[in-house]
């Protein structure tokens, strides 16, 4: 039995038409996600910007406008970058988010310093060294871990990690930056390990063979060929893990201690940006300086996430260029 | 069962030592030289699937030895046995003896073995690194740190792979910026940089155009002056041009014929080999 070109014709035409439809569909979806991002950015900044120019209470004798026996002044952008956060006081108000920026940075970097080496090692071990059955178990466990609600991690942190940190490091309270970093690293681990494993798995077998055939050992092959070749994916895994750590709220809220004093010491109680927003949102008066300051915290969180992303992306591009995959 | 080529004259009931001596004598007589690898009763399995049957073969030290045969007969498998690269396949196993430098290489350390027996693959597979780093990869993993020595070694390897003139001004460029034929010669240089005694080539020209193939063939011939080259090829003309000796495997993984290329091409002893050769020539 043979089919003539004419018989195939209609099908071909439909396919051509479908191809155009497919094209529109993808374009529309891409556009929608861009618009959604734009809308989010717009609303956050639209709510953050009115912070400037609101009335705030200042310590006695320093204000400009006197009302109801208290000193008032107008908030300025610079207020956000002072080192003191004390927004709800009736005597004086401070809206400096520096302590929270520092806390977010310290906790996130701490979490990544733990999660990336462990995640990568787990991926290498499971993907390249260990037996195959281990890989299946590993993948299942990772998926399970990723599905655990963050509040559950928070409880775990509160009951297990914080007491452990207090005893092991002999600090006053286990609710501190380190506990938060630990819990975040546990939360980011599944993402990082699983994506890094995928990245290693995607390295063409020909690279492995080429390296082994030159007399490289398994570990030399992993370090000098596989990880560099998978570095795009590994960096991507790190970025996603970091994204999760920067944005995580619930788990951190339970273990970080949440004191808003400026400190770089990871063994002290810290309040990261996310916790800062979650703690205050319910109490802030709609439309007040405090309310808008919380949106400013959100905007700052967004900026930090973007900057971290861009930094990682920059490293990534530089690396690809060195490997010759992307032209300089 | 076919009588294995060199065994036609060898008494299979004699002791192992006597057989070894007889094979060496046979190789010496037939190829005017000594053997570098002796394969004895090699069987190869992928899981339960037996791919090589009782292959015995003495590979001469001098010149180029070609391995030929129909697709799927086990040429690549035989080649990969020689540097133990088959081990990357789970469930693959080889039994028998493969004597290299007085030791059964099936039982020796694969890392040291692969240092001495280099390999070039069917498709060019440079690393995503610069041209220089590709060639320097081998020496570096074997512990060479001295920059001058590395540079010398890289230059020498590129010269021997006939690539130096084309890349000497762009050693820092990515290996992917080279053409397919250049990439394959880069892979040859990379293998040569660890100074192997034997170079295995698995259909090194199958992904290349005739002109690039020609250069690779030429390179293989030149290399045969200083080391042993074992090349798998589908292409009879290529085998005729490039090889001094040829081993023909048959579809069931048996070695049917082994000897100097000229005599095998002109007067094959085995009927099935004759058919194979004729079938190819049309
Ligand atoms: N990784 C593997 N797992 C299982 N079986 C394999 C594997 N590689 C090869 N085989 C089988 O072993 C036999 C020999 O394969 P091999 O690749 O050695 O043949 P070849 O002669 O090199 O073929 P070609 O000329 O097509 O390259 C084939 O029947 C093939 O199906
Ligand atoms: Mg093959």
- pLDDT surpassing 60 at residue A328: no
Q: Where is average pLDDT lowest: A177-186, A227-236, B154-163?
A: A227-236
Cβ–Cβ gap A214/B114 under 8 Å: yes
Q: Does B129 contact A at CB distance below 8 Å?
A: yes
Ligand 1 pocket mutation pick from B44, B45, B46 by most atoms within 8 angstroms of CB: B46
What's the confidence (pLDDT) of residue B254? 86
Q: Is the CB of B51 under 6 A from ligand 1?
A: yes
Instruction: Kindly indicate the confidence band of residue A2, based on its pLDDT and cuts at 50, 70 and 90.
Output: low
Contact state of A215 with B115 under an 8 Å Cβ cutoff: yes
pLDDT value for A166: 92
- The better pLDDT of the pair B155, A327 is held by B155
pLDDT average, residue stretch A132-138: 86
Out of A155-164, A304-313, B246-255, give the one with best mean pLDDT.
A155-164
B184 vs A: CB within 8 A: no
Phi/psi-derived region of residue B110, left when phi > 0, alpha when psi is between -120 and 50, beta in every other case: alpha
Q: What is the pLDDT of residue B3?
A: 42
pLDDT at A106: 94
Taking the Cβ of residue A146 and every Cβ of chain B, the question of whether any pair is shorter than 8 Å is answered with: no
Chain B residues in contact with A325 (beta carbon < 8 A): 128, 174, 176
Of the ranges A15-29, A142-156, B191-205, which is most confident?
B191-205
Task: Report whether pLDDT(A60) > 70.
Answer: no
The pLDDT of residue B127: 94
Task: State the pTM of this model.
Answer: 0.80
Looking at domain B61-85+110-251+259-277, its CATH architecture is: 3-Layer(aba) Sandwich (3.40)
A206 near B CB under 8 A:
yes
Q: How far is the CA of B75 from the centre of ligand 2 (A)?
A: 6
Name residue A71's beta-bridge partners: A66
B118 touches chain A (CB under 8 A): yes
Residue A10 predicted with pLDDT over 70? no
Give tens-digit pLDDT for A191-208: 899 889 988 988 999 999
Is the pLDDT assigned to residue A70 strictly greater than 70? Answer: no
Kind and range of the H or E run holding B227 = none
B190, A210: Cβ pair inside 8 Å?
yes
Q: Is the pLDDT assigned to residue A89 strictly greater than 80?
A: no
pLDDT (0 to 100) of residue A5:
57
Q: Report pLDDT for A327.
A: 46
> Per the CB < 8 Å rule, is A207 touching B174?
no
The CA-to-CA distance between both ends of chain B, in Å, stands at: 28
Above 90 in pLDDT, residue A225?
Answer: yes
Q: What does the mean pLDDT of chain A come to?
A: 85
Confidence label for A6 from pLDDT (cuts 50, 70 and 90): low
Distance CA A142, CA A144 (A): 5
Query: b/e per residue, A202-221, with b = 16+ CB within 10 A?
Result: ebeeebbbbbbbbbbeeebb
Mutational pocket test of ligand 1: of B42, B76, B205, the residue with most ligand atoms within 8 Å of the beta carbon: B76
Can you give the pLDDT at residue A321? 74
Chain A nearest C-alpha distance from B154 (Å): 14
Residues B73 and B76: their CA atoms lie apart, in Å, by 9
Q: From atom 10 of ligand 1, which residue's Cα is the shortest distance away?
A: B46
Distance in angstroms (rounded) separating the CA atoms of residues A96 and A86: 8
Residue to mutate, B66, B68, B75, ligand 1, most ligand atoms under 8 Å from C-beta: B75
Q: What is the pLDDT of residue B1?
A: 33
Q: What are the Cα distances from residue B215, in Å, to A320, B74, B161, B182, B188?
A: 31, 26, 10, 10, 12
Query: What ipTM does the predicted assembly reach?
Result: 0.88
First and final C-alpha spacing in chain A: 55
The pLDDT value given to residue A174: 87
- For residues A224 and A92, which has the higher predicted lDDT (pLDDT)? A224
Given pLDDT bands bounded at 50, 70 and 90, which one contains residue A11? low
Note the CATH number of domain A98-327: 1.10.3720.10
Determine which of A132, A134, A209, A215 to mutate to test the interface with B (most B C-beta atoms within 10 Å): A215
Task: Identify the segments of chain B with pLDDT beneath 50.
Answer: 1-4, 281-282
> Which pLDDT value is given to residue A132?
82
Task: Retrieve residue B162's tokens.
Answer: 């006939």
- pLDDT tens digits for A36-53? 989 988 999 999 988 888
Q: Decide if B118 and A213 are in contact by the 8 Å CB cutoff.
A: yes
For chain A, the domains span 1-52, 98-327
The answer to whether A216 contacts B111, with C-beta atoms less than 8 Å apart, is yes
Q: Is the Cβ–Cβ distance between B174 and B133 less than 8 Å?
A: no
Residue of A nearest to B136 (CA): A214
Stretch A74-103: mean pLDDT, rounded? Answer: 86
Q: Report yes or no: A229 at the B interface, CB cutoff 8 Å.
A: yes
Average pLDDT, stretch A98-108? 94
pLDDT given for residue B281 in this prediction: 43
What is the model's pLDDT at position A7? Answer: 64
Q: Which residues of A235-245 are buried (b: 16+ CB within 10 A; e: fewer)?
A: bbbbbbbbbbb
Q: Give the pLDDT confidence score for residue B159 in this predicted structure.
A: 93
Q: Which residues of B touch A209 (CB under 8 A)?
A: 85, 88, 121, 125
> Which residue on chain A is closest to B122 by alpha carbon?
A206
Write down the pLDDT at residue A317: 81
pLDDT at A51: 87
CA distance B245 to chain A (A): 24
- Option in A132, A215, A225 nearest B114 (CB): A215
Q: Report pLDDT for A310.
A: 83
The C-alpha atoms of residue B84 and residue A211 are separated, in whole angstroms, by: 13
Chain A residues close to B90, C-beta within 8 Å = 132
Residue from B123, B141, B176, B199 whose CB has the most chain A CBs within 10 Å, to mutate: B141
Q: Which ligand places an atom closest to the C-alpha of B74?
A: 1
SS3 B233: coil
Percent of the residues in chain A that have a pLDDT greater than 70, as a whole number: 89
Mutate to test the interface with B, among A213, A229, A320, A328 (most CBs of B within 10 A): A213
């Amino acid at each position: 039995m043979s089919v003539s070109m004419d018989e195939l014709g209609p099908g071909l035409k439909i396919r051509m038409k479908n191809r155009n439809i497919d094209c529109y569909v993808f374009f529309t979806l891409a556009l929608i996600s861009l618009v959604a991002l734009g809308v989010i950015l717009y609303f956050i900044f639209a709510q953050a910007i009115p912070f400037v120019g609101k009335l705030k209470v200042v310590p006695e004798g320093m204000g400009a406008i006197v009302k109801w026996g208290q000193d008032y002044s107008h908030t300025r952008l610079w207020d956000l970058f002072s080192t003191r956060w004390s927004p709800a006081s009736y005597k004086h108000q401070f809206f400096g988010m520096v302590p929270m920026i520092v806390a977010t940075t310290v906790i996130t970097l701490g979490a990544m310093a733990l999660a990336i080496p462990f995640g990568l090692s787990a991926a290498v071990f499971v993907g390249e060294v260990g037996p195959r059955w281990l890989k299946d178990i590993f993948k299942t466990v990772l998926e399970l871990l990723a599905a655990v609600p963050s509040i559950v991690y928070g409880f775990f942190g509160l009951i297990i990690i914080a007491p452990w940190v207090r005893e092991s490091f002999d600090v006053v309270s286990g609710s501190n930056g380190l506990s938060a970093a630990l819990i975040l690293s546990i939360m980011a681990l599944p993402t990082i390990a699983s994506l890094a494993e995928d990245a290693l798995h995607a390295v063409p077998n020909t690279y492995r063979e080429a390296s082994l055939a030159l007399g490289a050992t398994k570990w030399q092959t992993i370090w000098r060929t596989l990880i560099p070749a998978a570095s795009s994916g590994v960096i991507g895994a790190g970025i996603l893990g970091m994204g999760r750590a920067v944005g995580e709220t619930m788990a951190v809220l339970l273990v970080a201690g949440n004191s808003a004093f400026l400190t770089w010491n990871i063994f002290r109680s810290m309040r990261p940006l996310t916790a800062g927003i979650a703690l205050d949102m319910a109490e802030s008066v709609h439309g007040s300086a405090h309310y808008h300051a919380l949106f400013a915290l959100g905007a700052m969180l967004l900026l930090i996430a973007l900057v971290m992303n861009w930094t990682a992306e920059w490293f990534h591009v530089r690396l690809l260029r060195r490997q010759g995959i992307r032209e300089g | 069962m076919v009588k294995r080529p060199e065994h036609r004259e060898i008494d299979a009931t004699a002791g192992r030592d006597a057989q070894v001596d007889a094979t060496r004598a046979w190789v010496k007589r037939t190829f005017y030289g000594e053997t570098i690898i002796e394969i004895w009763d090699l069987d190869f399995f992928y899981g339960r699937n037996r791919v090589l049957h009782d292959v015995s073969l003495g590979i001469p030290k001098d010149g180029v030895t070609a391995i030929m045969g129909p697709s799927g007969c086990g040429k690549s498998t035989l080649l990969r046995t020689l540097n133990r690269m088959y081990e990357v396949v789970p469930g693959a196993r080889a039994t028998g003896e493969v004597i290299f430098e007085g030791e059964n290489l099936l039982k020796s350390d694969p890392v040291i073995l692969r240092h001495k027996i280099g390999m070039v693959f069917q498709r060019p597979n440079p690393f995503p690194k610069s041209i220089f780093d590709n060639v320097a990869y081998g020496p570096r993993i074997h512990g060479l740190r001295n920059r001058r020595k590395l540079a010398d070694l890289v230059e020498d390897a590129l010269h021997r792979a006939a690539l130096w003139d084309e890349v000497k001004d762009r050693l820092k460029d990515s290996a992917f910026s080279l053409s397919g034929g250049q990439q394959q010669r880069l892979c040859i240089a990379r293998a040569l940089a660890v100074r192997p005694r034997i170079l295995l080539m698995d259909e090194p020209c199958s992904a290349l155009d005739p002109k690039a193939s020609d250069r690779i063939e030429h390179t293989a011939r030149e290399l045969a002056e200083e080391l042993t080259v074992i090349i798998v090829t589908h292409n009879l003309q290529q085998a005729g041009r490039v090889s001094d000796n040829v081993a023909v495997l048959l579809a069931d993984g048996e070695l049917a014929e082994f000897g100097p290329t000229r005599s095998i091409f002109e007067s094959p002893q085995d009927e099935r080999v004759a058919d194979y050769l004729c079938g190819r020539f049309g």
